[in-house]
Amino acid sequence: MHIKPIIVVLGDYERCLQHYADWSQIQARSELRFFHEPLNGELLYQAVQDAHAIALVRDCSPFDSSLIKRLTNLKLFVFTGMRNALLDHVALLNQGVTVACTRGGPSKETTTELTWALILAASKQVVDQSQMMNGGQWRNAHSVLPMLCGQRLGIIGLGGIGSLVAKVGAAFGMELVCWSPNMTKERAHAAGCEFLPLEALLQTSKIVSLHLVASERTKGLIHQDRLAMMRKDSVLVNTSRSSLIVTKDLITALRLGRPGQAALDVFDQEPLPKDSELHRIPNLLMTPHLGFVAEPIFKDFATGIVDTLDAWLDGKPVPLPYPSN
């Protein structure tokens, strides 16, 4: 009797993967299981313990070496996008598991758009002004707002996203400064920015926007002492990774009014728990990790997973093996 392989799909929080690709052939040839809520620990193990193939959307569930060793049936692991910081790729490869990824779609562009949505919403008090009008009020003394033109935009991390953020800042007439661990004056100048030491950037920028890759070098980069350097009228924006900021330090700093505001799209735990202290900070604007949540990206995710699973079920090489790309 032929036993169908078990395929587990994790992290389809938006419940849209089956909408953007044709899963009928995979459904017919396997036992296909979808899990929508993020899973961790023993609940994660229970969901995948007998899986022959795992498909993971983004880095919503951690797979370390101890968990991977317990997955004795596992033959294929495919994750969306080109990078996953919570996945032990080496442990998978050492266990003989085929590791694959998908294309990431225009995530740089969508994250740039969201970054500027947050910058503009925070600096122009869009939420507060809208709520005031919904309550039947009109402008008051608190409605006299600052301009971004002529102000300093500090970009921490000048890669693909940071460079796009800089272009928009230039279009608004902002003064562009930047810093990253490996930045040079030449690289900064090529992007139309001035390279500054991190402390100087934090002390002088009206807007500080984070666009670094999470690593041991960048974890906790923005902590109590550095937050205290920021201007009282500044806005700190993070659409990159939550680990760049020490969250408890940010909560304290916002209550002390330095920086004046923060705008976050990424959090240490996602979805953000209902009892999180972040919900009680009035000068904090939050969005639910929307930087990558866009139709063309999820189309790439869905078709990439389906193409990979089809190839694997056919005994063919996967389209985007990791780490050969």
The per-residue pLDDT for range 239-254, each reduced to its tens digit, is: 999 999 999 999 999 9
The residue ranking higher by pLDDT, 214 or 176, is: 176
pLDDT at residue number 267 = 96
The residue ranking higher by pLDDT, 85 or 251, is: 251
**pLDDT exceeds 50 at position 300:** yes
Distance CA 54, CA 51 (A): 7
pLDDT at residue number 8 = 98
pLDDT at residue number 144 = 87
pLDDT at residue number 60 = 81
pLDDT tier, 324 (very low <50, low <70, confident <90, very high otherwise) = low
The pLDDT of 214-224, averaged and rounded, is 94
pLDDT at residue number 3 = 86
pLDDT at residue number 1 = 45
Average model confidence (pLDDT) across the chain: 95
pLDDT at residue number 202 = 98
Superfamily in which the 107-286 domain is placed by CATH: NAD(P)-binding Rossmann-like Domain (3.40.50.720)
Which part of the chain has CATH 3.40.50.720?
6-106+294-313, 107-286
**Model confidence pLDDT, tens digit, residues 3-53:** 899 999 999 999 999 999 999 999 999 999 999 988 999 999 999 999 999
Question: Right CATH number for 6-106+294-313 from 3.40.50.10800, 1.10.357.10, 3.40.50.720, 1.10.10.10?
Answer: 3.40.50.720
**pLDDT exceeds 90 at position 141:** no
The residue ranking higher by pLDDT, 260 or 142, is: 260
Note the pTM of the prediction, 2 decimals. Answer: 0.91
Tokens, residue 221? 């980069």
The pLDDT of 61-82, averaged and rounded, is 95
pLDDT tier, 82 (very low <50, low <70, confident <90, very high otherwise) = confident
Give the whole-number percent of the chain exceeding pLDDT 90: 90
Residue 293 β-bridge partners: none
Task: Write out the chain in H/E/C secondary structure.
Answer: CCCCCEEEEECCCCCCHHHHCCCHHHHHHCEEEEECCCCCHHHHHHHHCCCCEEEECCCCCCECHHHHHCCCCCCEEEECCCCCCCECHHHHHHCCCEEEECCCCCHHHHHHHHHHHHHHHHHCCHHHHHHHHHCCCCCCHHHCCCCCCCCEEEEECCCHHHHHHHHHHHHCCCEEEEECCCCCHHHHHHCCCEECCHHHHHHHCCEEEECCCCCCCCCCCECHHHHCCCCCCCEEEECCCHHHECHHHHHHHHHHCCCCEEEECCCCCCCCCCCCHHHHCCCEEECCCCCCCCHHHHHHHHHHHHHHHHHHHCCCCCCCECCCC
Closest CA to 270 of 284, 287, 282: 287
pLDDT at residue number 178 = 98
